[in-house]
Amino acid sequence: MLKALIFDVDGTLAETERDGHRVAFNAAFRDVGLDWEWDEQLYGELLRVPGGRERIRHYIEHYAPPIECEFGEIRSIDRLIADIHGTKTAHYAGLVAGGQIKLRPPVAELLRAARRAGLRVAIATTTTRSNVTTLLEQLMPKARDAFSPIVTADEVAAKKPNPAVYLEALARLGLDADEVMAVEDSEAGVRAALAAGLRVLHTPSAYFPQRVDGVTARLAGCGPNDDAADCLVVAGLAELRAVEQAIAA
């Protein structure tokens, strides 16, 4: 029986990537004196690499941009990446506090229904912990303490698609995998949850609109493909539980 939902953050709770993280990365590049610009299309390609620091490193290694900092001398690539990422995290907090990023309505309704039904809710994410805190405070100030545990990738050995963050969340919940479902948008996230033995409710997002194999169902209203017959589409928690019971029977 379903006892808890573990939510991903970026792309799942809110469309944070295009108008949040991407914009914050570009502001940070400018701050450190780099003329790099990640446009929407390039960012979509770079998003295949989970983790902001890993994404910057991948860009340096595979896109070979000129590294000419106007301000200060570059002591090492590691230091440059850390500086950019720290600055980016501050910009991201400012953007979120500005109120432009909203909780996605179908996910908000799922959350409300889960809490009404007494399900526990948790978070398993690749993003930095302070980003989660800032986002929850802005998007759901009254419910920000509802999520427990909140596990971020910096606390485990490897990022999604590695299952570590989901396994850690599961262990802290003290539940069996078959009592928990993950709510995810990206392919790497879905693969991480499946590898942890979880069922997955897929919530496609702007950068990850496509179907991912292995999911239990897709949440209606999260993407353009609700009419497609490629996946079971559920309207919300009640329907999801009905499906679960039918499968178990």
Binding to ligand XBP, residues 20-49 (CB under 6 A):
21
Q: How far is the CB of 52 from ligand XBP (least distance, A)?
A: 2
Residue 105 structure tokens: 């309505």
Residue 8 as a binder of ligand XBP (CB under 6 A): the answer is yes
Nearer residue to Mg ion within complex by CB, 173 or 193:
193
Q: How far is the CB of 125 from ligand XBP (least distance, A)?
A: 4
Q: How far is the CB of 98 from ligand XBP (least distance, A)?
A: 17
Out of 4, 95, 150, 189, which residue is the one contacting ligand XBP (CB under 6 A)? 189
Cis peptide before 50 (omega within 30 of 0): no
Q: Please tell me what DSSP assigns to residue 215.
A: -
Out of 50, 163, 204, 223, which residue is the one contacting ligand XBP (CB under 6 A)? 50
Residue 127 as a binder of ligand XBP (CB under 6 A): the answer is yes
**Contact between residue 222 and residue 106 where contact means Cβ atoms under 8 Å apart:** yes
Binding to Mg ion, residues 35-64 (CB under 5 A):
none
Torsion sign across C-alpha atoms 61, 62, 66, 68: negative
Q: Which contiguous run of DSSP H or E holds residue 116? A: helix 105-116
Site string for Mg ion, 9-28 (x = CB under 5 A): -xx-----------------
CB contact burial 177-202 (16+ within 10 A = b; e otherwise): eebbbbbbbbbbbbbbbbbbebbbbb
Catalytic-residue membership of 8: yes
Q: Which does 126 bind (CB under 5 to 8 A by kind): ligand XBP, Mg ion, none?
A: ligand XBP
Q: Which residue is nearest to Mg ion (CB)?
A: 11
Q: Where are the beta strands (DSSP E) in 169-239?
A: 180-184, 199-202, 217-219, 233-234
Neighbouring-strand partners of residue 147:
121
Percent composition of the chain: helix, strand, coil (DSSP 3-state, to 5)? 50, 15, 40
**Contact between residue 42 and residue 58 where contact means Cβ atoms under 8 Å apart:** no
Out of 5, 28, 34, 128, which residue is the one contacting ligand XBP (CB under 6 A)? 128
Binding to Mg ion, residues 173-192 (CB under 5 A):
185-186, 189
Q: Which residues are annotated as catalytic?
A: 8, 10
| Contact positions vs Mg ion (CB under 5 A) | 8, 10-11, 185-186, 189
| Contact positions vs ligand XBP (CB under 6 A) | 8-11, 17, 21, 50-52, 125-128, 131, 160, 186, 188-189
